[in-house]
Chains A and B, each alone.
Chain A
Amino acid sequence: MSAKTAFQGFLRQDGRKGIRNTILVVYLVECAHHVAREIVYPYRKQGVHLIGFSGCYPNQYAFDMMSRLCTHPNTGGVLLVSLGCESFDRRGLQQHVRESGRPVETLVIQERGGTLTTVDQGLAWLQETLIELEETATRVPMSVDELVVGAICGGSDATSGITANPAIGRCFDLLVENDAGAIFEEGGELIGCEQIMADRAVTPALGEEILSTMEKTARYYTTMGHGSFAVGNADGGLTTVEEKSMGAYAKSGSSPISGLIKPGDLPPAGGLYLLDIVPDGGARFGFPNINDTAEIAELIACGAHLTLFSTGRGSVVGSAISPVIKVCANPETYRRMDGDMDVDAGRILEGRATLDDVGQEIFAQVLDVAGGASTKSESLGHQEFVLTYKSFEPIGPACLPV
């Protein structure tokens, strides 16, 4: 690996490496949200992020997601904030984080004397733990083949599929050539692309898995009565879900598809992976992903160190845990919102750059951000996070042939 593609990462006990050393403050039910937010607030610009799960009913998917996120390589420490009577298995989660070698504490509001005392104790824990993380961080060389990068599109318009998505596809090809993990997703935004994806699978059996996943996806969205298609997509010139899909599909680039994973599954090696985010077992808990942020959280749970986000209409979101690089597809949007955008892919439409130029620019930004440079959304303090109810069956052996 050349020096050019190496940077400094944070070594974790399990051998994985992170590009950030974030402390997560985690509310375990909506009733603990305010207390957790008050604890984070003074430290929100010092690498302390707020995430949580609103529901009071237990859910295995939500527990597994939290377990992955709290032991993500970008996560350095975890403070759990519980009301006390919710169903979330706080002891199980705390034990899981402790076994990963990270500092972890649980504050149960009902046991700590209410809002004010819990906030005070949370602030004190953060103050100590920030110092501890600073002192104990193990910095090690990290190279591009140790990175996992996700891709998503949001606020799409008709330029997304011509500029930003294919440019991200070029970057994905470069990442896969360098043995990094690259994950694209959202079957609901790939409806109509099922056969061309199946044809790219590294084995015929994986191709069959992709086809059956896409059947499930089309069935699920049909039951819900809406495709993954927002009103703004149509204002931006997109007319149908399959038109949006063809544009979204370009994010995957041209590498063979090495595997099909579900939220929380880690890519076992470098290569291109399709993330299936549509629940198994029928439509039960509502829309598969209620917004872009829920998709980003699932990419992160699959180990994504950072996410490439293509937008035409102009999304402003970032994310907790893993930085988001915003690739703006539409040159008019870029001129209006350049303070939120990291890459101006709309130059391609105006003849000021080629797809390859922008693909290489995104790849260079991936390395910069992995090395510690802040993205626009990070600098602006965007730390969006959403986690809802879902249900999944484990993936079958044909999904990961490597």
Chain B
Amino acid sequence: MPDPQSGLLLRISDEDNVFVLLRSVNAGTRLQLGEHTVVVENSLELGHKIAARNITAGEKVVKYGAPIGSATRDIRAGEHVHLHNIKSDYIPTYTLNSGTE
């Protein structure tokens, strides 16, 4: 299992441009991504995704070596990758806010 940072981040497949958090982290946690140190802005639960590198708007987000959606805006390395910056290429994701937006 690739282990870039003491069991905290998992890159499932070599082609992936996101890491998976193996533990929940608090806001302010510093993550080492290659030469860059990034600071986590908001507390995140384990399983959430962190950009492994800069991803440009419209680029495919890759996890398990497979595309899991497209970036809806530019994403910086180390940023949380989720509903606010990527979307499905198949069926839009419903959230509890979807109906009120």
Which residues on A are within 8 Å of B, measured CB to CB?
157-159, 161-162, 191-192, 218, 221-222, 226-227, 229, 231, 234-243, 246-247, 312, 330, 332, 349-351
Contact = CB atoms under 8 A, between A and B. Distances in A.
Given A191-B90, A242-B69, A246-B66, A231 B96 contact: yes
A221 B48 CA distance: 25
Contacts of B45: 235-237
A329 to B, nearest CB: 9
Interface size class of B (residues with CB under 8 A): 20 to 34
Contacts of B92: 227
B10 A243 contact: no
A221 B91 CA distance: 8
A231 B95 CA distance: 5
A242 B94 contact: no
A240 B88 contact: yes
Nearest to A227: B91
B31 interface: no
Which of A159, A227, A243 has most B Cβ within 10 Å?
A243
Contacts of A218: 90-91
B39 to A, nearest CB: 20
Q: Which of A234, A239, A246, A350 has the most CB of B within 10 A?
A: A239
Contacts of B56: none
Nearest to A243: B68
B82 A237 contact: yes
Contacts of A237: 20-21, 45-49, 82
A191 B93 CA distance: 13
A240 B86 contact: yes
A242 B46 contact: no
A29 to B, nearest CB: 32
Specify the main secondary structure of chain A where it touches its partner. Answer: loop
Interface string B47-87: 11100000000000001101111000000000001110011
A222 B68 CA distance: 17
Given A227-B91, A242-B90, 5 more contacts: A162-B12, A227-B92, A236-B45, A240-B89, A243-B63
A248 to B, nearest CB: 11
Contacts of A330: 46-47
Given A239-B49, A351-B7, A192 B91 contact: no
A290 to B, nearest CB: 15
A162 B82 CA distance: 18
B69 A240 contact: yes
Nearest to A242: B68
B47 to A, nearest CB: 3
14 contacts: A162-B10, A218-B91, A227-B93, A229-B94, A231-B95, A235-B45, A237-B21, A237-B47, A239-B68, A240-B89, A241-B93, A242-B68, A312-B47, A332-B24
4 closest A-B pairs by CB: A158-B47, A237-B47, A227-B91, A243-B68
